Chains A and B, each alone.
Chain A
Amino acid sequence: MRTQTYKTTYADLVALTPHSSNWAWALIGLLVVASAPLLLGSHGLNILSAIFVMAIGILGLNLLTGVTGQISLGHAGFLLIGAYAQAILTTDYHLPAWLAIFVSGLVAAAASLVVGVPSLRLKGLYLAITTLAFTFIVRHMVLFAEKITRGSEGMAVAPLNLFGYSVKSDMPFFYVALAMLVLFVLMTLNIMRSRIGRAWLAVRDHDIAARAMGINLMHYKLLAFMVSAFYTGVAGSLVALQTRYINVDTFSILISIEALAMIIVGGMGRVHGALLGTVLILLLPELLNFGFSIAGNRFTTLMADRIYEIKGLMYGVVILLFLRLEPEGLAGIWRKVKRFWVQWPLSQ
């Protein structure tokens, strides 16, 4: 039986995983997820791909809000920028789609400086509202710069092309999204154990104290904004590649709130929390759909008419319940279950 972890060297403290068995478990989990196409139809695969794509953006938001402690209501804006950058770069500038994914991330990161710079002087709520303002401004700029963005018409997006093979159908995209997610999870875990990750945690706990410890606040806050926006921009471009058509209305303010709901439900500042939160929140509408289809016809039509409101109601209720009952989120539940399991029969 594995007992408590005792760290005896400094290297242990920054190791990627505390036990070598974690690698084995991660690999098994990955294999299970990768074999999903054997079981699921096209609808199921689409939902899973959407979860993977969203999870990349949520990892980014988590780095900014959960790890560095800067509340952002502006991530719908970064997602929008990423998606439009992908569409414009591939249609108008004929960049290869795989390259455009990363360039879109960089474009979003550059745009993040617009909010990042005021964030150096703003804190907490003032910052949250500035990021909200950013989303409004981005939406309007996209709507009114018709020459570049086609305004309210939206844009069609060329499919991804890998090694001469066009990723159009659900299954190849599923694997692309999964690969990207694995890449970004590894990246996040590695950032978190580096000097940068530790500095971000210090800024979250108390920024003035962190500064007194020799952490350059300007440097690290801007970096947090840029990295977070890069993640979200990449997620945006993947959204564009999945839906193949984008429009300003796809990226409403509700997305920013949904995203915050995901990190709260998952547990702030935890990588596995961000993943679990994304899965739960994105699966909720599906569960509801399923429940309603059992309940009968009358509910199904109600669901069809008011899907947007019912979804909103659900996110709201889930946020309220988690904040009230389990502030540590799913990551906290996971920790408690694990402790119970490992220490049984000694656990209370």
Chain B
Amino acid sequence: MSYFLNLLMSGLVIGSLYGLISMGFAIVYRATGMVNFAVGEIMMLIAYISYNLAQIPGLGIAGLLLTTIPVSILLGLLIERVFIRPMLGEPMFARVMVSIGLAVVIRSTVILIWGVEPKAYPRPMGDEVIKFGELALYPGQIFSLVVMALLCLLMWAFFRHSRIGIAMRATSNNETTALLMGINVKRISAISWALSAVFAAFAGLSFCLMFSLEPEISQMGLRGFPASILGGLDSVIGGAFGGLVIGVAENLAGGYLGRGLKEIAGFVLIIIVLMVKPYGLFGQREIERV
């Protein structure tokens, strides 16, 4: 039982990482209708920057958050302004390819600057295991779970009640109509990229607080896809839920069925789910006109 519980818990922890990443996907998708294939790489870049920031003595976790988040917002705005905005109004394929190109560029640049060797990330919250009955969790794992729960709530309220959130939904639905309704589409796109970068920053920090920092972190972006697909690309909360499901499924498959299955369990799961529900579990069905 304790084996199962621990598998479940570590699945939830990894799942919360996937959830954070896929919420980052979903925000950009919700606001601009494009998938940002570069989320994993943006997360990698922010994680490496935060590694340099964490070298400042006496910063603590609060200081780390207070420095990393503004940096990530600036980075999101910069990327949007330089690479994404010029493509506004271009076909979707071109825009998605821009994000793929961007992903490759960022990954290569980061490796060229910081190298491939793993870096030991400082542990500002300590490294002692905290016990809850049979469960044992590291502070980094708790951080990841708590952050995801909080952001999930915030995002739900944001899209439901805030003016900007509703404007984002309108923009994703139809850019031109939104523009005619007086929504500043460019600003919406900028805000969504900044928000997405903040999610990437939280995901990156959680990753760093649990593992050591190495270039494989960018793989997490790809591994987060099944989560966002499962939840539906346009559903932020669905992405979080999908992340948890995929994380648990991977861990259970790895724990009971064999080590090799852990890596692909998520991908197998989504191929099956998509055959039944082509827009994910929570995604909205698109109605098309000829």
A36 lies within 8 A of chain B by Cβ: no
Annotate A289-325 by CB proximity to B: 1 below 8 A, 0 otherwise. 0000000000000000010011011011101100110
Known A206-B290, A208-B288, A310-B108; contact A132-B225, beta-carbon cutoff 8 A: yes
User: Which of A85-93, A135-143, A175-183, A331-339 lies at the interface with chain B?
Assistant: A135-143
Contact B278 A313 (CB under 8 A): no
Chain B residue nearest to A114 (CB atoms) is B271
Known A133-B267, A136-B263, A324-B86; contact A257-B105, beta-carbon cutoff 8 A: no
Taking the closest CB of chain B, its distance from the CB of A142, in whole angstroms, is 11
Distance between Cα atoms of A144 and B109 in the complex (Å): 33
> Chain A residues near B98 (CB, 8 Å)?
319-320, 323-324
User: Which of B89-97, B135-143, B161-169, B191-199 lies at the interface with chain A?
Assistant: B89-97
A117 lies within 8 A of chain B by Cβ: yes
> Chain B residues near A306 (CB, 8 Å)?
111-112
**Among B83, B93, B102, which residue has its beta carbon within 8 angstroms of that of A71?**
B93
Contact B274 A126 (CB under 8 A): yes
Contact A320 B108 (CB under 8 A): no
Q: Tally chain B residues at the interface, Cβ within 8 Å.
A: 41
> Chain A residues near B150 (CB, 8 Å)?
none
Distance between Cα atoms of A128 and B37 in the complex (Å): 11
Contact A312 B104 (CB under 8 A): yes
A41 lies within 8 A of chain B by Cβ: no
B268 lies within 8 A of chain A by Cβ: yes
Contact B112 A140 (CB under 8 A): no
> Chain A residues near B90 (CB, 8 Å)?
323, 327
B279 lies within 8 A of chain A by Cβ: yes
**Among A133, A208, A253, which residue has its beta carbon within 8 angstroms of that of B290?**
A208
Interface, chain B (partner A; CB < 8 A):
35, 83, 86-87, 90, 92-94, 96-98, 100-105, 107-109, 111-112, 222, 225-226, 229, 233, 260, 263-264, 267-268, 270-271, 274-275, 278-280, 288, 290
Q: Can you sample 26 A-B contacts with CB below 8 Å?
A: A123-B278, A124-B92, A126-B278, A130-B271, A133-B267, A136-B222, A136-B263, A140-B260, A140-B263, A143-B260, A144-B260, A206-B290, A212-B290, A254-B104, A306-B111, A313-B108, A315-B104, A316-B103, A316-B104, A319-B97, A319-B98, A319-B104, A320-B83, A320-B102, A320-B105, A323-B94
Nearest first, the 7 closest Cβ-Cβ pairs linking A and B are A319-B101, A316-B105, A316-B104, A133-B267, A313-B108, A312-B108, A121-B278
